[in-house]
Amino acid sequence: MEYRQLGASGLKVPALSFGAGTFAGKGELFSAWGDTDVAQARRLVDICLDAGVTMFDTADVYSDGASEEVLGQALKGRRDRALISTKAGLPMGDGPGDAGTSRHRLIKAVDDALRRLGTGHIDLFQLHAFDAATPVEEVLSTLDDLVRAGKLRYVGVSNFSGWQLMKSLATAERYGYPRYVAHQVYYSLVGRDYEWELMPLGRDQGVGAVVWSPLGWGRLTGRVRRGQPLPEGSRLHRTAAFGPPVADGLLYAVVDALDEIAAETGRSVPQVALNWLLRRPTVSSVIVGARDESQLQENLGAIGWELTPDQVARLDAASATTAAYPYFPYRRQEGFARLNPPIAGGVEF
């Protein structure tokens, strides 16, 4: 396994992390993802640890807290070998204090997560969404207290816009609060919006990307094909409306390119898609999930080899889309491009 710095922090994380969204399987969305019980989860954790996948990601809203409970039991007796990443902020109920990142909510959310996980600390705690109703200063001062209390080691965010993240980083610097070192983001070959603003921000400010849904919400598994109906067992039948939208034309162009390169490399379609992501700037870790051992082993095959520059270029071309304003002039017009040269990895701004 390859290990990387998490943003500008001293924490080293594996290039691949394991997502526990398939654990427990309660509710309409998460039951479609999977229903892994404790015994099955323990076996998946065994495989991960043997392969060097030491970070496990979950959230309080995953199966209404049951994912954290299953993960905690699966890690029992080897907590010191693992990094636990969890998130809070999305609604956990209908009450006025059951959502958001107020001081009241965060303290309770962290204590509840620690109890469900059966641990004394969380290695990486991330805000699952920006809370526009709570002052940034209140959020960061609360996280500062929780870090000082030893309950949290590192803090990050998920699904923030550029201005939300930058305002938070500036406030942390002003008052000496903990800086966010991770941004858990959606990024895939069929979803490259992260590159327009959040990637250059992360590079400039030392915020590492922890990528969720790297296979485009289950579309890049190799089972979704042009001119064919969705496979009977695809979770897209039940979950497509919950995830990022993808235009059919873009999806099939990317799948065609993945098919060609999979044949050239002797790798599977998802392995090629994951390997492309692992070489992108600012990416600290890519979260992979699995319902069973075979899926996990296949995802682990994305590590230990590299696409050629020509193959990367072909995937870049197949997945390219027009950036939103004000970003597209920096890609199309020479005068703008001269002010923002390409960064490592060939991503242009």
User: How far apart, in whole angstroms, are the C-alpha atoms of residue 298 and residue 303?
Assistant: 10
Measured between alpha carbons, how far is 246 from 97 in angstroms, rounded to an integer? Answer: 34
CB 60 within 8 A of CB 88: yes
Do 246 and 261 contact (CB within 8 A), yes or no?
no
**Whether 62 is catalytic:** yes
| Dihedral (CA of 125, 183, 32, 243) sign | positive
Short-list 182, 318, 203, 324, CA closest to 250: 318
d(C-alpha 276, C-alpha 89), whole Å: 31
Which is the catalytic residue, given 3, 62, 154, 186? 62
Q: Output the CA torsion 133→144→202→45 (10° steps).
A: -100
Q: Where are the alpha helices (DSSP H) in the chain?
A: 28-33, 38-51, 66-74, 103-117, 136-148, 162-175, 198-205, 236-239, 248-265, 269-278, 293-300, 309-319, 328-332, 334-339
Instruction: Count CB-CB contacts under 10 A for residue 16.
Output: 25
Which positions are catalytic?
62
